[in-house]
Copies of this chain bind each other. A is one copy, B any other.
């Protein structure tokens, strides 16, 4: 019924369910139902639930990073590439099933009890910060700007998740414009 490999089906189902309900509220039986992969096969593919959690987070990182890269690539100027981050957030927040950042959620739920989860989340956020820093560098901004822009993006994600509105993306973008244009005055500003 599905030409993805069983492994892919399991990891997609895991990412979807873990994101929707929280990791500890999804059992292996739920995973079986959502993926269509039998328990026996599931345990031949992964040694334990912890392993599924780990691989699902790693796969989600790839997916998210690809979204981000695509959004950035679609913009032309260095300034627009920085702002493209917030436009991507705006589109993401408007999805019906948006429930915040899976990595932030997983960190809060399991970061203190599953060191591997904490490690993966840290790496994910470090990657994001590195990407923003690269964009800022390409725009010629001083080093202090990138962490500020990353903080705005993080704050927008949690604010949007909790409030249930998409406003935070627009607000973060407007703040980012001010920070960018202060750090890096545009020659053509009116």
Contacts and interface: CB of A to CB of B under 8 A. Distances in A.
A107 B112 contact: no
A20 B112 contact: yes
Contacts of A55: none
B109 A162 contact: no
A22 B110 CA distance: 7
A166 interface: no
Label chain A's interface by main secondary structure.
Answer: helix
A125 B110 CA distance: 22
A162 B107 contact: yes
Interface stretch (A28-36, A59-67, A77-85, A171-179): A171-179
A148 B174 contact: yes
Interface in A118-163: 121-122, 125-126, 144, 147-148, 150-159, 161-163
A153 B152 contact: no
Interface string A11-25: 000000000111011
9 contacts: A105-B109, A107-B161, A109-B109, A111-B161, A148-B175, A151-B159, A151-B171, A155-B158, A182-B182
